[in-house]
Amino acid sequence: MKALTLILGREIRLALRQIGDSAIIVLFFVLAAVLFPFGVGPEPNMLARMAPGGVWVTALLAAMLSFERLFTPDYEDGSLEQLALGPAPLEMVALAKAAAHWLTTGLPLMIAAPLIAVLYRLPDAGYGALLITMALGTPTISLIGTIGAALTLGSRRGGVLLSLLVIPLIVPVLIFGTAAIDAAIGGFPVRQHLMLMGGFLLGALVLTPLATAAALCQALE
Amino acid sequence: MIQQYANPARFNRLAKTLMPWFAWPAGILIVTGLYFALFNSPPDYQQGDTVRIMYVHVPAAWMALFVYTSMAISSAVGLIWKHPLAHLSAQAAAPIGACFTFICLLTGSLWGKPMWGTWWVWDARLTSVLILFFLYLGFMALHNAFDDPARGERSAAILAIIGFINVPIIKFSVDWWNTLHQPASVVKMSGPAIHSSMLYPLFMMAIGFTLYFGALLLLRMKTLMLVRRACGMSMAQLHQQAAE
């Protein structure tokens, strides 16, 4: 547990020193989201209809960009090896990395999401669901993304390959995230969608550190 | 017992003996199965002759899942027991499985156009099979992404095991969600809901496809081993030249 907080503290200090890295991801999120109205036209009803999906898809793409740097610096300067040699289990390191990624990328994306939703004229009933699905979905994405980052560590064409691996695995989060927002806008119950997303998060919390640790382990072999 | 076949020469001998036992029955079953499927089975009372697409579509879909499962199992064996042939078998199976998945998607699409009026719908079964296809592609891409082949095969093995979560989702997607795709009608508790005149050609095709996969897997594993040996030999030659 102490290792978890120590690694988390270190990651956050590093992220704060290079605050630009997180800012760029959020900036990409906003810019990519702004492209949609240009592409499909500014008609308000159409934008409102595609608001839940537009926000979620662009948030996912922005998150994809951030995974490549998750382990690479530590891998290159050897601190990942030191972490692996240390007393803390690799699973704990993986969990701490995912938590740090969420705090430095997922949380800013979540805060920026309602802003994008305003640009898309999301109906008022959707904002609560948007925030809750983001709160449940972005940590799941961070957890699954750490597996992809660990698997592609040291590969050629890391970034594109990482997206190819991670995107199929996070499709369920996208489906139920947008379904919950649509249900909230239409006045239908959102509970079952949110419970499924909570289930994904809990499952990912237990299983992904094991997979990430296995991937890191063989990357360092 | 499996450790015995870690020796490539011994595996080669086994493959040589097994090959005709897979290849010939596969050819015979697929040819006779196709004859029964195309000419000697009744058209469906609703779907007419388009039902004949089923005899390729359904076995291809079964194979897509079967090959992925075999790939995940051999990946796990490779990671746990460090069995050299296990990774090779996963590597050899991936493109075959991807082709079966593609055939399944393609024939499904051709079948969907006359029956549902559309090439594609975003229902749970179709989407999860599409994801399976992407998992196969991801496996192959990850396998080739590293300068060190051993690193690539271990990374890809972990991905194959993670992706296995999709297999039960595909199987049960038609029960868990309301889908346009029909629910299972052959493998179910109350017995198959298809008449035997259609069931026999279907089983012939399914067994034929499975044996065909076995033959192709053995062939691809042998080829991959030869490619590796050729690579090793040319590397050794280069070293020798450099030393001189």
Lowest mean pLDDT among A52-56, A109-113, A181-185, B189-193: B189-193
Residue A156, by phi and psi: left (phi above 0), alpha (psi -120 to 50) or beta? beta
Cβ separation B154–A218 shorter than 8 A: yes
Residues in chain B closer than 8 A to A151 (CB atoms): 142, 155, 158-159
Residue of A156, A168, A171 lying closest to B138 (CB–CB) = A168
pLDDT tens for B169-182 read 888 887 777 777 87
Phi, psi dihedral angles at B43 (to 5 degrees): -70, 155
Residue B188 in domain: no
In this structure, how many other beta carbons lie within 10 angstroms of the beta carbon of residue B96?
A: 20
In angstroms, the CA B31 to CA B43 distance is: 19
Q: How many angstroms separate the first and last alpha carbons of chain B?
A: 44
Query: What are residue B48's DSSP bridge partners?
Result: B44
ipTM associated with this complex: 0.85
pTM score above 0.90: no
Closest CA to A129 of A172, A193, A173: A193
Neighbours of B180 (CB within 10 A): 15
Among B95-109, B115-129, B198-212, B213-227, the range scoring the smallest mean pLDDT is B115-129
CB–CB of B76/B157 below 8 Å? yes
Structural domain for A158, as ranges: 2-220
| For residue B188, pLDDT beyond 70 | no
Q: Collect all residues with Cβ–Cβ distance below 8 Å to B106 and sequence separation of at least 6.
A: none
List the structure tokens of A88. Answer: 């803390």
**DSSP states of B108-129 as a string?**
HHHHHHHHHSSS----HHHHHH
A147/B162 CB distance under 8 A:
yes
8-state DSSP, B44: B
Tell me if chain B has a CB within 8 Å of the CB of A194.
no
The pLDDT of residue A16: 84
Backbone CA torsion sign across B160, B93, B184, B177:
positive
Query: What residue numbers bound the domain in which B176 lies?
Result: 2-42+49-183+194-243
Where do runs of H (alpha helix) occur along A154-190?
A: 158-186
pLDDT-based confidence at residue B136 (cuts at 50, 70, 90): very high
B191 phi/psi in degrees, rounded to 5? 90, 160
Query: What average pLDDT does the structure give for chain B?
Result: 88
> How does DSSP classify residue B2?
G
Is it the case that residue A1 has pLDDT exceeding 80?
A: no
In which band, very low, low, confident or very high, does the pLDDT at B38 lie, cut at 50, 70 and 90? confident
**Could you tell me the CATH number of the domain that includes residue B145?**
1.20.120
In chain A, the residue whose alpha carbon lies closest to the alpha carbon of B129 is A168
- The answer to whether position B87 is within a domain reads yes
Q: How far is A165 from chain B (nearest CA, A)?
A: 5
Q: Give the residue on B whose Cα is nearest the Cα of A214.
A: B158
pLDDT greater than 70 at residue A38: yes
How many domains are contained in chain A?
1
The CA-based angle A197-B121-B101, given to 5 degrees, is 85
Q: How many domains in chain B?
A: 1
**Chain B residue nearest residue A165, CA to CA:** B138
- Which residues in B have their CB inside 8 Å of a CB on A? 79, 127, 131, 134-135, 137-138, 141-142, 145-147, 151-152, 154-155, 158-159, 161-163, 166
Contact A164 B147 (CB under 8 A): no
Write down the number of H helices and E strands in chain A.
Answer: 10, 0
Residues 111-170 of A with CB under 8 A from B: 147, 151-152, 154-158, 161, 164-165, 167-169
